[in-house]
């Protein structure tokens, strides 16, 4: 046998399929053989390496050398012949199939991306990820042909974000400056962007004209505040003289975070950064004043936001009730719901010209005289289909519901706050629960909880009254928020025994980098409305969140709804807010605090984190008091820093589970014209293979068990405990999981509270009571099969659920130890004691029929899935929400 060192010195390069020559890597051969071994249930790395050496021997004897490098096909041919010659016919067969499948995937990728060559990102990302990128994110020409590779897209984004760092270089930026610069000199360049397309570069990264526009606008903003030491032409001179090439390292840092699937910003950033629209935020809130001029202004602004790829939340409670007198016309008001229909129509029209439709959140406060009509409005199909709707709950209503004997509650006039009529709070909550039981809407937004630790109320002159379309981001009118999510499943490292552990140090590093990333977005964003530009920069609100939580817990062998799971998630959540806020303070030291910071409660030592106040200090993992002292001394760059947003399409690109949700299903079936195949969670599949359990028959059995392994005798008990799905978890534990994250998150959580089909409206009501009691800022309940468009496609129509789910001991202990209100305790306990046998309960046939005909993605006509309150297409990545 030829020595390895001789081989490696003899063969240093390999010819790729596109004709280019690259470095020879022995390990790639070993990996391919190892995968073939695993496919035959032989997880033997040593054998793979031994067989690789045989391949290398054959290469040398066939005359390949440093002057005559082999091609990829040459090496693959050698692998096949070596396996056969050494008596491994089954492995050879597996390798041939593997090679064929790789070729097919490669061809499918090239077809999807409209290219003859795959870049490094295209090779790394799986086909589903690339389909999502192709359908929504990659640039296209006027013939609708893809003109951008995935790596070029991520580079486009990273360059724009890096400009935010460049503009704060200490040689040109001064925090407390009062230097006057000629900003008109800079803005003149906006009229000649085409002349500067790809003329400047940072290191090896060229700026296109839209990057150049971001540089101009960012410079002008800072110059108007007296923070630019030099004029714009001098800035360009220094840029041309390579004075800022060091920032190529920052660009590469942001690029690496994205291509390594560690972090992704919200969808508008990936769609529009370095592009014509240039609008990078997902979340917006507009006011809706009770006058025609204001209504039309908000409608027009909403259209501009939809056009730019954002979604809008509006609280309609200022509009007078239906039938009220309109003094200016002597007519009667048509009511808030009628004006929601206007916005709904605008959304429908505008969506036809963009990459995605706009999304809306329509809110009505519980005291509004039209509240009953609002609650029941969406129970019928075809009504306000571009809206999520939620009832805004305030403290007075909650007191009437849980503390008063008769439940009397007064609805009030929008004009003068005078009493209109009295209702019963219990009847109203029952109406909401029944509506949500039937149609999954409305949701509830607990404005009393949202404003409990709102440090911004004093600066903005009142409480928060609206959220973005998915309810996780509270905003004042004309504020926006840019979001981003860290893929926690990729922040693990292998221990000596082969098991995973979480890399806390890397988590901190990533939090700090991504906080800076999102702060930069604010400076290089091209806002669609001037008022949004002003309000967003006054607060500099960002929303750093997570995805891949369920996959992470699978890797760590931690059950999602266990005591260990809850405590681990709580620590993850606390670290996220602590390090992002600490980094925000560091940014304030170097770049300045957000403009309205002195008018907030931050200088008084208050912070917008419930866990700091509600959890004993000995239960804190981090020194929050020290952080508060830093905020008081230096200020903070962003009014809030954390939000757990929907990550539907983002998690598809990152190839991980959604947000902090449990996995939707471990296996689900897809039928195609040539047969059927199964989508399987990749971590679960690996564990099945490692334990010799993988088979098509077992996958089919799991798919027909609502995608769950519960109660399947072939699956070991330890695996059943670890690999839980959304339907394995009792609805009360869904609430508990949301609560442990909410304790430490500044904004709110996008989460669907999944309920089985057979729960009652009383269960939904109990969920509301429990949600408020454990500190949630909002709740979306989804009972399987409840919508006229069935979007929770669990499995095929023959699916059978053969297991019961019950609340965890952790949840029971929490209720016993924490809930003291007699009414709440009684209602929750009654709901949790209800035990219904689920043996052989089949999905109702009418639901299946509706699913077949109505539950289709508007883009590719495949099935939709409801996750985090959003309809997501698992094929093309279509999402009913704007952030993910």
The residues annotated with a catalytic role in the active site are 468, 470, 472
**Which residue matches tokens 């571009």?**
386
Residue 285 is given by DSSP the state: E
Contacts of 537 (CB under 8 A, 6+ apart): 221, 522, 594, 595
89-113 vs 26-39: helix crossing angle, rounded to 10: 110
Q: Does a cis peptide bond (omega within 30 degrees of 0) precede residue 101? A: no
Closest C-alpha to 298, from 312, 308, 288, 285? 288
To the nearest 10 degrees (0 to 180), the angle between helices 504-524 and 563-591 is: 50
Write out the two tokens for 56: 């290398």
Helix (H) or strand (E) holding 212: helix 209-224
Question: Which segments of 492-620 are extended strands (E)?
Answer: 492-494, 500-502, 542-547
- Give the tokens for residue 564: 């260990």
Sign of CA dihedral 713, 715, 718, 724: negative
Dist. CA 677–CA 680, nearest whole Å: 10
SS3 letters across 609-623: CHHHHHCCHHHCCCC
Residue that the structure tokens 């679960």 belong to: 684
Q: How many CA atoms lie within 13 A of 316 on its CB side?
A: 28
Q: Are strands 480-487 and 408-412 parallel, antiparallel or unpaired?
A: unpaired
CA 601 → CA 28, 540, 591, distances in Å?
Answer: 57, 16, 21
Q: How far is it, in rounded angstroms, from Cα 454 to Cα 457?
A: 6
End-to-end CA distance of the chain: 54
At 637, list the tokens. Answer: 């760059």
User: DSSP class of residue 642?
Assistant: B
Tokens of 385: 């289909």
- DSSP 3-state assignment of 136? helix
**Looking at beta carbons, which pairs linking 35-44 to residues 24 or more positions away fall under 8 Å?**
35/98, 36/83, 36/91, 36/92, 36/94, 36/95, 36/98, 37/91, 37/94, 38/689, 39/94, 39/97, 39/98, 40/90, 40/91, 40/94, 41/689, 41/692, 41/694, 42/91, 43/689, 43/690
Other Cβ atoms within 10 Å of 755 Cβ, number: 25
Q: In sequence order, what are the residues at sequence separation of 6 or more whose Cβ sits closer than 8 angstroms to the Cβ of residue 740?
A: 566, 567, 569, 570, 573
Q: Tell me how far apart the alpha carbons of residues 242 and 735 are, in angstroms, rounded to a whole number.
A: 53
User: What is the SS3 assignment for 709?
Assistant: coil
């Amino acid at each position: 046998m030829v020595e390895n060192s001789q081989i490696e010195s003899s063969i240093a390069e390999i010819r790729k399929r596109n004709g280019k020559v690259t470095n020879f890597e022995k390990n790639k051969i070993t990996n391919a053989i190892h995968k073939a071994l695993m496919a035959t249930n032989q997880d033997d790395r040593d054998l793979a390496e031994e067989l690789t050496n045989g391949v290398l021997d054959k290469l040398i004897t066939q005359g390949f050398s440093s002057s005559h490098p082999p091609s990829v096909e040459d090496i693959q041919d050698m692998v096949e012949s070596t396996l056969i010659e050494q008596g491994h016919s089954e492995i050879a067969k597996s390798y041939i199939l593997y090679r064929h499948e790789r070729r097919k995937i490669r061809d499918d990728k090239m077809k999807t991306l409209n290219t003859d060559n795959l870049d490094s990102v295209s090779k790394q990302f799986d086909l589903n990820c690339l389909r999502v990128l192709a359908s929504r994110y990659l640039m296209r020409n006027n013939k609708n042909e893809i003109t951008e590779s995935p790596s070029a897209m991520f580079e486009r984004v990273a360059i724009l974000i890096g400009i935010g760092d460049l503009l704060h270089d200490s040689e040109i930026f001064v925090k407390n400056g009062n230097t006057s610069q000629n900003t008109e000199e800079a803005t003149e360049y906006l009229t000649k962007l085409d002349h500067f397309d790809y003329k400047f570069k940072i290191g090896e990264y060229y700026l296109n004209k839209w990057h150049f526009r971001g540089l101009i606008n960012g410079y002008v903003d800072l110059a108007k505040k007296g923070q630019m030491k030099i004029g714009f032409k001098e800035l360009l001179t220094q840029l041309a003289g390579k004075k800022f090439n060091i920032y190529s390292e920052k660009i590469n840092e942001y690029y690496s975070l994205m291509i390594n699937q560690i972090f992704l910003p919200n969808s508008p950033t990936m769609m529009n950064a370095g592009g014509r629209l240039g609008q990078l935020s997902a979340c917006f809130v507009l006011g809706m004043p009770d006058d025609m001029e204001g209504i039309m202004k908000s409608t027009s602004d909403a259209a501009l936001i939809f056009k730019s790829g954002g979604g809008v939340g509006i609280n309609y409670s200022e509009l007078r009730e239906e039938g009220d007198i309109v003094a200016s016309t002597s007519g009667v008001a048509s009511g808030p719901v009628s004006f929601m229909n206007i916005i709904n129509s605008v959304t429908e029209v505008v969506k036809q010209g963009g990459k995605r439709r706009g999304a809306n959140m329509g809110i009505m406060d519980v005291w509004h005289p039209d509240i009953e009509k609002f609650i029941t409005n969406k129970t019928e199909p075809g009504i306000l289909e571009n809206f999520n709707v939620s009832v805004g709950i305030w403290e007075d209503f909650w007191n009437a519901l849980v503390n008063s004997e008769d439940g009397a509650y007064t609805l009030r006039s929008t004009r003068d706050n005078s009493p209109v009529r009295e209702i019963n709070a219990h009847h109203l909550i029952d109406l909401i629960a029944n509506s949500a039981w039937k149609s999954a809407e409305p949701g509830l937004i607990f404005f009393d909880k949202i404003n409990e630790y709102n440090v911004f109320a004093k600066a903005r002159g009142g409480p928060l009254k609206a959220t973005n379309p998915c309810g996780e981001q509270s905003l004042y009118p004309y504020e926006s928020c840019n979001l981003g999510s860290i893929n926690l499943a990729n922040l693990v490292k292998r221990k000596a025994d082969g098991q995973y552990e979480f890399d806390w140090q890397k988590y901190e590093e990533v939090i700090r980098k991504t906080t800076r990333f999102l702060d930069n977005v604010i400076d290089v964003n091209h806002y669609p409305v001037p008022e949004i530009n002003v309000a967003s920069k006054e607060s500099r609100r960002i929303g750093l969140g997570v995805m891949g939580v369920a996959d992470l817990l699978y890797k760590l062998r931690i059950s999602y709804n266990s005591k260990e799971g809850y405590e681990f998630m709580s620590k993850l959540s606390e670290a996220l807010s602590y390090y992002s806020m600490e980094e925000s303070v560091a940014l304030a030291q170097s770049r300045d605090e957000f403009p309205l910071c002195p008018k907030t409660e931050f200088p008084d030592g208050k912070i917008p984190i419930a866990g700091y106040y509600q959890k004993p200090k000995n239960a804190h993992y981090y020194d929050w008091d020290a952080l508060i002292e830093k905020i008081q001394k230096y200020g903070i760059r962003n009014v809030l820093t954390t939000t757990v947003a929907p990550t539907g399409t983002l998690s598809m690109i990152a190839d991980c589970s959604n947000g902090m949700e449990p996995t939707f299903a471990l296996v689900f079936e897809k039928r195609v014209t040539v047969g059927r195949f199964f989508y399987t969670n990749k971590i679960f599949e690996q564990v099945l293979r490692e334990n010799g359990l993988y088979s098509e028959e077992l996958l089919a059995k799991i798919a027909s068990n609502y995608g769950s392994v519960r109660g399947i005798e072939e699956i070991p008990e330890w695996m059943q405990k670890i690999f839980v799905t959304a339907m394995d978890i009792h609805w009360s534990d869904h609430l508990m999981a949301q609560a442990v994250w909410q304790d430490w998150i500044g904004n709110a959580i996008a989460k669907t509270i999944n309920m089985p089909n057979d729960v009652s409206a009383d269960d939904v009501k109990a969920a509301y009571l429990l949600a408020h009691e454990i500190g949630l800022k909002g709740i979306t309940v989804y009972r399987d099969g409840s919508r006229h468009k069935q979007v929770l496609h669990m499995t095929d129509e023959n699916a059978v659920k053969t297991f019961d789910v019950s609340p965890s001991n952790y949840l029971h202990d929490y209720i016993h130890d924490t809930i003291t209100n007699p009414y709440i305790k009684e209602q929750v306990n009654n709901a949790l004691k209800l035990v219904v046998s689920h043996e052989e309960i089949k999905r109702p046939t009418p639901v299946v029929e509706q699913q077949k005909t109505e539950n289709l993605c508007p883009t590719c006509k495949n099935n939709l899935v409801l996750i985090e309150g959003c309809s997501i297409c698992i094929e093309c990545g279509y999402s009913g929400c704007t952030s993910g």
